[in-house]
């Protein structure tokens, strides 16, 4: 074997050590020159080396493979694979963990013994990780940076956290350590690195010789602690501790808007799965039933839903404004009602519109379970259909029940600054070009829109902030929300209102996951408005508009970063979908009530949007 072959094999061995799950399939090597000449004619190239990534899969256990032992016997494993359990909307499921090689063997076994049988296999999108963590400023793939012998880990080991991981509450969850027992966090700076944004929203720490990152934290472990997850974490030898802080512990700011109270309005198109089990006297009207028969059934359906929720522990009543025009709903309990804006184009299929309104819910540790239970009831007894006429509206207020004038100013400024960002987070069917029920607060016939147009987008924001700072409560509402059909409806926050602000941009939802996302989104936005120095942003905007900084030393005003940080501070990061831009999934979205020009605008986004006839 000559020097080049030896070097080639050494490189492959090094890559195998680093990749772990990568198999290199090499041609058989020989030492005779004659064999090499015959193996590789002058007109042909040597066989290329291939590599195969060893992915990991979860195999759902079902007949005839009902137990992990059945899987081991079928494909000839020497040991029983690991059992995994999980729960979903259909109940608890059991899986076993298999490698790529085992999955290939399973496919061969199934094709021979059970042709036509399709097993559920889920590929785990987790890359192979070596036990050693990356080291800033050092490329571990280079041979002279690889450890030749296994090194014993010495404690304390210093880690550098940045972004949302600098939050003690988040670290407490990741390390599974009570907040009171969390080791001490110290201010620190790093040499040889910088913070950059990846994919438009993720903050990444990268090599940058000569640069310095200020204001992050270091975390020291005196003993080995189990870590469930450790993103954004690196061993950093060049950490320079900041000067010691004063002996007295820093006091956290008091945010008197927490915890929030919220109420949600769910606009739904539903059909009972078994109407006789819900109400023995009720019967779905025929497809050719009269308008009066369908209307009467729709009212009866409200009573059915109300009774079902009440029997499940949610006190609920039917609210009919036609019975008493001066009556107002009781927001201390759930209620069902009719909404004339919802489409009735699905009645031929047995689907009828209803609106279900929650009571005032305190956003404490129980609100997620409340929303989960509600949707579990609805999905168990009803089929749900998505339609563009449906929306989800979230009313939010502070714990004292009403935003004070300073808090209202902060929310109004945040809406002026970020309303376009919140609109981009909603799917296209909720855009101003596709509906008239949740229009922008900074476009059209809105006083603040006139100022933004007159003074320009940058100076206009500073002018709007000054106007809001000197306006009365009712004037603030009129300035950013002259009518209720705005994405952020401020009318309930007037002097005579109950003090909340309504977010109307979310689409109609049919799952608990989507409902919780938009509730968490609303709370994170309002919390971001309370915590962020909006006046400082307004002063920095002209400079920031022309020169963006990628280091942590300068302020950044990225909407996604600030919203996700607020969600993390509120403990809502796991509830919120970090992919803030939501889609319509147009193939399952029904369009029965839409102006032709709105529909044409949607079709420019995606050809899968389809319009149904009113009687479809």
- For 190-241, the pLDDT digits (tens) are 666 777 776 666 677 777 766 776 654 554 444 433 333 333 343 333 334 4
Question: Distance between the two ends of the chain, CA-based, in angstroms?
Answer: 76
Name the range with the highest mean pLDDT among 91-100, 276-285, 385-394. Answer: 385-394
Q: What is the mean pLDDT of residues 289-302?
A: 89
pLDDT at 145 over 70: no
pLDDT at 354 over 50: yes
Q: pLDDT tens digits, residue range 52-79?
A: 556 788 898 888 888 888 888 888 887 8
For residue 507, give the H/E element and its range.
none
pLDDT at position 616, please? 39
Which range has the worst mean pLDDT, 194-208, 318-332, 338-352?
Answer: 194-208
> What Cα–Cα distance (Å) separates residue 99 from each residue in 75, 105, 123, 607?
12, 10, 10, 39
Pairing label, strands 501-503, 121-124: unpaired
pLDDT at position 167, please? 72
pLDDT at 20 over 60: no
Strands (E), 50-179: 50-53, 56-60, 83-88, 91-99, 121-124, 157-161
- pLDDT classification of 356: cutoffs 50, 70, 90: very high
Q: pLDDT tens digits, residue range 415-430?
A: 999 999 999 999 999 9
DSSP track, 521-575: HHHHHHHHHHHS-HHHHHHHHHHHHH----STTS----HHHHHHHHHHHTT-TTT
pLDDT at position 17, please? 46
Q: What is the mean pLDDT of the chain?
A: 77
pLDDT at 21 over 60: no
Q: Does the pTM of the predicted model rise above 0.85? A: no
Which range has the worst mean pLDDT, 253-267, 343-357, 462-476, 569-583?
Answer: 253-267
Start-end ranges of CATH 3.10.490 in the chain? 143-241
DSSP single-letter state for residue 587: G
Which range has the worst mean pLDDT, 82-91, 121-130, 593-602?
Answer: 121-130
pLDDT at position 396, please? 96
Q: What is the mean pLDDT of residues 355-380?
A: 94
Select the more confidently predicted residue: 148 or 358: 358
Q: Name the CATH code of domain 143-241 (choices 3.10.490, 3.40.720, 3.10.290, 3.40.30).
A: 3.10.490
Q: What is the mean pLDDT of residues 84-109?
A: 82
- pLDDT classification of 605: cutoffs 50, 70, 90: confident
Q: pLDDT tens digits, residue range 491-507?
A: 999 999 988 999 999 99
- Write out the two tokens for 393: 């509206």
Contact between residue 175 and residue 239 where contact means Cβ atoms under 8 Å apart:
no
pLDDT at 450 over 70: yes
pLDDT at position 554, please? 39
- pLDDT classification of 372: cutoffs 50, 70, 90: very high
């Amino acid at each position: 074997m000559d020097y080049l072959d030896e070097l080639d094999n050494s490189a492959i061995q090094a890559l195998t050590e680093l990749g772990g799950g990568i198999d290199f399939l090499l041609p058989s090597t020989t030492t005779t020159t004659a064999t090499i000449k015959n193996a590789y004619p002058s007109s042909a190239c040597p066989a290329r080396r291939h590599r195969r990534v060893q992915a990991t899969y979860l195999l759902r256990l079902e007949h005839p493979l009902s137990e992990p032992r059945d899987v081991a016997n079928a494909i000839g494993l020497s040991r029983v694979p690991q059992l995994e359990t999980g729960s979903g909307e259909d109940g608890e499921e059991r899986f076993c963990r298999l490698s790529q090689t085992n999955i290939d063997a399973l496919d061969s076994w199934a094709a021979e013994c059970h042709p036509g049988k399709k097993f559920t296999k889920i590929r785990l999108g987790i890359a192979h990780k070596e036990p050693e963590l990356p080291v800033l400023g050092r490329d571990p793939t280079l041979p002279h940076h690889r450890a030749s012998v296994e090194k014993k880990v010495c404690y304390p080991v210093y880690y550098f956290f940045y972004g949302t991981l600098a939050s003690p509450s988040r670290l407490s969850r990741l390390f599974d350590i009570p907040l009171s027992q969390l080791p001490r966090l110290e201010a620190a700076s790093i040499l040889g690195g910088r913070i950059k944004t990846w994919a438009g929203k993720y903050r990444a720490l990268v090599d940058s010789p000569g640069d310095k990152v200020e204001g992050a934290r270091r975390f020291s472990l005196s003993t080995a602690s189990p870590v469930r997850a450790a993103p954004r974490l690196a061993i950093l030898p060049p950490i320079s501790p900041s000067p010691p802080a004063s002996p007295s512990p820093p006091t956290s700011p008091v945010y008197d808007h927490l915890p929030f109270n919220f109420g949600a309005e769910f606009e739904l198109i539903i059909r009972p799965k078994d109407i006789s089990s819900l109400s023995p006297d009720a019967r779905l009207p025929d497809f050719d039933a009269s308008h009066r028969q369908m209307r009467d059934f729709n009212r009866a359906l409200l009573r059915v839903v109300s009774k079902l929720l009440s029997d499940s522990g949610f006190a609920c009543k039917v609210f009919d404004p036609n019975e008493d025009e001066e009556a107002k709903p009781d927001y201390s309990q759930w209620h069902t009602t009719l909404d004339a804006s919802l489409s009735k184009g699905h009645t031929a299929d047995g689907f009828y519109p209803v609106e279900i309104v929650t009571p005032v819910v305190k956003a404490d540790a129980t609100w997620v379970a409340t929303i989960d239970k509600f949707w579990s009831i609805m999905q168990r007894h009803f089929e749900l259909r998505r339609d563009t006429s449906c929306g989800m509206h979230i009313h939010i207020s502070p714990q004292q029940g009403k935003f004070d004038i300073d808090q209202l100013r902060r929310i109004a400024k945040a809406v002026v600054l970020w309303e376009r960002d919140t609109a981009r987070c909603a799917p296209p069917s909720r855009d101003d070009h596709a509906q008239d029920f949740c229009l922008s607060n900074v476009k059209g016939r809105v006083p603040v829109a006139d100022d933004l147009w007159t003074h320009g987008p940058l100076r206009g924001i500073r002018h709007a902030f000054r106007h809001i700072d000197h306006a009365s409560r009712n004037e603030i509402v009129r300035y950013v929300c002259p009518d209720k059909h705005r994405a952020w409806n401020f009318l309930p926050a007037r002097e005579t209102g109950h003090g909340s602000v309504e977010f109307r941009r979310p689409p109609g939802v049919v799952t608990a996951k989507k409902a919780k996302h938009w509730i968490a989104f609303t709370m994170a936005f309002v919390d971001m408005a309370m915590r962020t120095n909006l006046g400082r942003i307004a002063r920095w905007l002209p400079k920031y508009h022309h020169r963006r900084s990628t280091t942590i030393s300068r302020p950044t005003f990225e909407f996604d970063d600030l919203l996700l940080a607020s969600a993390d501070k509120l403990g809502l990061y796991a509830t919120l979908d970090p992919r803030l831009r939501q889609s319509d999934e147009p193939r399952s979205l029904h369009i029965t009530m839409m102006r032709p020009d709105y529909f044409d605008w949607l079709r420019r986004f995606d050809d899968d949007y389809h319009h149904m006839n009113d009687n479809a």
